[in-house]
């Protein structure tokens, strides 16, 4: 399974690479406040290298956790954005990470800023971030991206992080399950959760992924919640580790 996810991660990265490879002005602002296209790629590059550190040198990664603050992400993105070799740095780092993830023994957990993750989960998280930051770049450049089957990975991590979304917002984790029913890009259903769950979330897979990565406001998306748990979850949904995001304003 790890090979399948890594193959999709490579494809997702290549699609974003195509958007920026010939770009002359990397200072174009993106929807993320204060972040240019260079910041977006810089963030991905930094996270890839930190992920690689978590695999290759867990002790060094653990030692660095004490220096992690709410400003770390912005600071490291800015540092990487200033690199003259940013594109090459990102390309090399993401390939090194893919090779390292493929070599992790089955069943081994990897340290991270949130709970430890399996190699498959880390690869899925990298794909989710690559897609999300790629959306910021595409929006900045006025480029429409056709949704692909790779969105299933993003949707999956969005569903799996339901408990985390409640915890990080200081809320009690609900015990009632949520049924998520999405329509994939090919028109076929993607489903998570028990069929008899009273709480449900439905909508297009693309809209759901934009919601859980906080790339669009719920009011601008065709995602519907039924039941108190589902209604409470959607405004705080986040597929990424770290503190609650500010999200995007409605258009």
Extract the tokens encoding 56. Answer: 């290759």
DSSP-assigned beta bridge partners for residue 199: 178
Eight-class DSSP state of 247: -
- The single residue listed with the structure tokens 């929807």 is 31
Backbone φ and ψ for 193, nearest 5 degrees, come out as: 95, 160
Q: Report the distance separating Cα 26 and Cα 29, nearest Å.
A: 8
> What CATH number labels 2-141?
1.20.120.450
Tell me the CATH number of domain 151-236, given options 1.10.275, 1.20.1420, 3.30.1050, 3.30.420.
3.30.1050
Helices 86-103 and 37-56: angle between axes, nearest 10 degrees: 30
Eight-class DSSP state of 173: P
Q: Report the distance separating Cα 241 and Cα 115, nearest Å.
A: 9
Q: What are the pLDDT digits (tens) for 92-139?
A: 999 999 999 999 998 999 999 878 999 999 999 999 999 999 999 999
Which three-class secondary structure state does DSSP give residue 3?
helix
- The single residue listed with the structure tokens 């993105």 is 77
pLDDT for res 113 = 85
Confidence class for position 166, pLDDT limits 50, 70, 90: very high
- Please indicate whether the domains covering 2-141 and 151-236 agree at the CATH topology level: no
Domain boundaries defined on the chain: 2-141, 151-236
The two beta strands, 199-204 and 178-183, are: parallel
Helices 2-20 and 86-103: angle between axes, nearest 10 degrees: 180
DSSP-assigned beta bridge partners for residue 29: 36
| CB-count burial class (<10 Å; 0-12, 13-18, 19+) for 198 | middle
**pTM strictly above 0.75:** yes
Q: Is 183 within 8 Å of 217 (Cβ atoms)?
A: no
Q: What are the pLDDT digits (tens) for 193-243?
A: 999 999 999 999 999 999 999 999 999 999 999 999 999 999 999 998 877
Q: What are the pLDDT digits (tens) for 77-101?
A: 999 999 999 999 999 999 999 999 9
Q: What are the pLDDT digits (tens) for 32-62?
A: 999 999 999 999 999 999 999 999 999 999 9
The two beta strands, 178-183 and 189-192, are: antiparallel
> Which helix (H) or strand (E) segment is 123 a member of?
helix 119-141
Task: Mark 225-239 as b/e (b = at least 16 C-beta within 10 Å).
Answer: bebebbebbbebbbb
pLDDT for res 11 = 98
Q: Report the distance separating Cα 197 and Cα 215, nearest Å.
A: 27
DSSP-assigned beta bridge partners for residue 191: 181
């Amino acid at each position: 399974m790890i090979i399948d996810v890594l193959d999709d991660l490579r494809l997702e990265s290549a699609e974003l690479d195509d958007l920026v490879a010939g770009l002359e002005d990397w200072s174009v602002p993106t929807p993320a406040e204060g972040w240019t296209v260079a910041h977006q790629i810089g963030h991905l590059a930094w996270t890839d290298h930190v992920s690689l550190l978590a695999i290759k040198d867990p002790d060094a990664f653990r030692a660095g956790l004490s220096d992690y603050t709410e400003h770390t992400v912005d600071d490291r993105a800015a540092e990487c954005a200033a690199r003259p070799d940013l594109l090459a740095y990102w390309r090399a780092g993401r390939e090194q990470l893919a090779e390292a993830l493929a070599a992790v023994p089955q069943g081994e957990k990897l340290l991270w800023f949130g709970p430890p993750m399996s190699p498959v989960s880390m690869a899925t998280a990298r794909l989710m971030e690559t897609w999300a930051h790629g959306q910021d770049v595409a929006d900045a450049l006025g480029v429409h991206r056709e949704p692909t089957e790779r969105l299933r990975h993003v949707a999956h991590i969005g569903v799996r992080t339901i408990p985390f979304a409640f915890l990080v917002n200081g809320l009690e984790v609900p015990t009632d399950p949520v049924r998520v029913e999405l329509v994939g890009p090919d028109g076929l259903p993607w489903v998570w959760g028990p069929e008899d769950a009273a709480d449900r979330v439905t909508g297009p897979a693309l809209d759901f992924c934009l919601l859980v990565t906080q790339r669009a406001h719920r009011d601008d998306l065709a995602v519907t919640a039924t039941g108190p748990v589902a209604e409470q979850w959607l405004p705080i949904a986040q597929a990424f580790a770290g503190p609650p995001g500010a999200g995007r304003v409605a258009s």
